[in-house]
């Protein structure tokens, strides 16, 4: 691989945490045209950069579900490093493939889906277990009835209650994250759904400079299941054996598998990155146990979800750093490479 490129003059990492920052598309086009003749493309196969859920609600402190990690600065610092990594490696990255968590208010992980015995929605970060549902501490809100599949609508609340028990039991059986009521986040059409400005700037500059395709993966819009992974729902099936969540379109995954190298960054290492990489590696291993060696995880390009108390200390039951650390170790055992944004790609393991 060639030497990394110098950072462009418009790049300002100090703007990584600014909600209001917007890239200058016209200026980026002019900069790309001026720089195109100096771009040296790396030969030797296609390199895709998979950016998992780099969206304002996750990446910026004002966001609805900011991923600050234990330091409180996690996603902001990650954003600056990822953007710099893109600019330094414009000749080596053939495609940037972002995923977008895409939600509406009435989904199983949002407050509008639930009420307590008094008819009040639960507060954010409420953990929903089988014991809570079986004891009647939380119930589906009346609006959920409108989401029922037509073939079971006549069964009403009884069907929904059985489905919700099936859901939390399935999560436990599969070793997935417990169901959590998250703050409303990444609502489609909202500012929080968009990329942070520094990432959008790097993404646009790459596309303009290289004339590159800009595929994107939209996920998470089904009301009946969480979709941490970019490649499938947490619990797609019904308690009665049918399918509840619409089948995932595998076209994006098949397209990604055509890359010779897949570099991964995004938010959060404990949730959406974790399950996306797990699904990616599982599909690779099913095809060829050696394929995970094509995957490179940017460890300093992601942070874990950590809930902090008023004093800024991690809340143990909301600190998912151990889950992220376990994932890094497991991915390495499967053959994926754990790398850093600051190490030149030419020095990465082949």
Tens of pLDDT, residue by residue over 265-296, are 999 999 999 999 999 999 999 999 999 999 99
How is residue 90 written in tokens?
A: 């414009």
Alpha-helical segments (H) within the chain: 25-35, 56-59, 74-88, 130-134, 156-174, 197-210, 251-256, 272-287, 321-334
Name the pairing type of β-strands 47-52 and 261-266.
parallel
Res 327 pLDDT > 50: yes
Please report the pLDDT score of residue 276 as a whole number: 96
How is residue 168 written in tokens?
A: 């939390």
How is residue 73 written in tokens?
A: 């600065």
How many CA atoms lie less than 13 Å away from 105 in the CB half-sphere? Answer: 6
Spell out the domain ranges in the chain: 98-195+210-261
How is residue 334 written in tokens?
A: 């499967």
DSSP string for residues in 89-137: TTTT--EEEEEEE-B-SSSTTSGGGEEETTSPPPPTTEEE-HHHHHTTS
**Does a cis peptide bond (omega within 30 degrees of 0) precede residue 268?**
yes
247 or 22, higher pLDDT: 22
Give the pLDDT mean for 242-263: 86
To the nearest whole percent, how much of the chain has pLDDT over 70? 98
Give the pLDDT mean for 116-129: 94
Residues 6+ apart with CB under 8 A from 341: 81, 82, 84, 85, 265, 298, 300, 301
pLDDT in tens, 132-173: 999 999 999 999 999 998 989 999 999 999 999 999 999 999
Which residues does residue 314 pair with via DSSP β-bridges, in sequence order? 308
Res 3 pLDDT > 60: no
* Alpha-carbon gap, residue 195 to 175, rounded angstroms: 30
Mean pLDDT of the chain: 93
123 exposure class (CB count in 10 Å sphere: 0-12, 13-18, 19+): exposed
pLDDT in tens, 184-200: 999 999 999 999 999 99
| Torsion 191-197-201-207 (CA) sign | negative
Closest CA to 222 of 57, 109, 123: 109
pLDDT in tens, 29-48: 999 999 888 888 888 899 99
How is residue 141 written in tokens?
A: 């809100």
Residue 187 has what DSSP assignment?
B
pLDDT in tens, 57-103: 999 999 999 999 999 999 999 999 999 999 999 999 999 999 999 99
Give the pLDDT mean for 236-256: 85
Residue 306 has what DSSP assignment?
E
Please report the pLDDT score of residue 249 as a whole number: 65
* Alpha-carbon gap, residue 19 to 2, rounded angstroms: 34
* Alpha-carbon gap, residue 65 to 19, rounded angstroms: 14
Please report the pLDDT score of residue 1 as a whole number: 43
Give the pLDDT mean for 243-263: 86
Question: Which of helix, strand or coil describes residue 247?
Answer: coil
């Amino acid at each position: 691989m060639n030497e990394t490129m110098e950072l462009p003059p418009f790049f300002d990492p100090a703007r990584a945490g600014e909600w209001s920052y917007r890239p200058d598309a016209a200026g980026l086009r002019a900069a790309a045209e001026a720089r195109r003749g100096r771009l040296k493309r790396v030969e030797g196969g296609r390199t895709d950069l998979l950016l998992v859920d780099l969206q304002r609600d996750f990446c910026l402190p004002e966001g609805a579900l900011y991923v600050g990690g234990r330091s409180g600065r996690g996603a902001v610092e990650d954003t600056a490093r990822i953007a710099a990594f893109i600019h330094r490696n414009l000749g080596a990255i053939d495609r940037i493939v972002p995923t977008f968590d895409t939600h509406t208010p009435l989904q199983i992980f949002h407050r509008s889906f639930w009420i307590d015995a008094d008819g009040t929605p639960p507060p954010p970060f409420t953990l929903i277990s089988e014991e809570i549902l079986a004891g009647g501490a939380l119930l589906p809100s009346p609006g959920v009835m409108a989401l029922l599949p037509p073939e079971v609508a006549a069964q009403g609340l009884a069907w929904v209650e059985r489905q919700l028990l099936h859901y939390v039991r399935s999560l436990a059986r599969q070793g997935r994250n417990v169901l959590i009521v998250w703050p409303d986040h990444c609502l489609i059409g909202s500012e929080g759904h968009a990329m942070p400005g520094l990432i959008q700037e790097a993404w646009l500059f790459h596309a303009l400079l290289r004339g590159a395709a800009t595929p994107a993966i939209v996920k998470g819009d089904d009301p009946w299941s969480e979709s941490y992974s970019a490649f499938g729902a947490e619990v797609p099936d019904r308690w009665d054996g049918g399918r509840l969540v619409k089948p995932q379109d595998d076209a994006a995954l098949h397209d990604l598998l055509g890359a010779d190298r897949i570099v991964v960054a995004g938010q959060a290492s404990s949730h959406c990155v974790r399950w996306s990489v797990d699904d990616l590696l599982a599909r690779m291993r099913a095809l060829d146990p050696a394929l995970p060696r094509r995957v490179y995880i940017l460890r300093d390009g992601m942070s874990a979800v950590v809930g902090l108390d008023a004093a800024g200390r991690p809340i143990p039951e909301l600190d998912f750093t151990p889950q992220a650390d376990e994932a890094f170790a497991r991915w390495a055992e499967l053959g994926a490479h754990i790398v850093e944004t600051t190490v030149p790609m030419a020095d990465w393991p082949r």
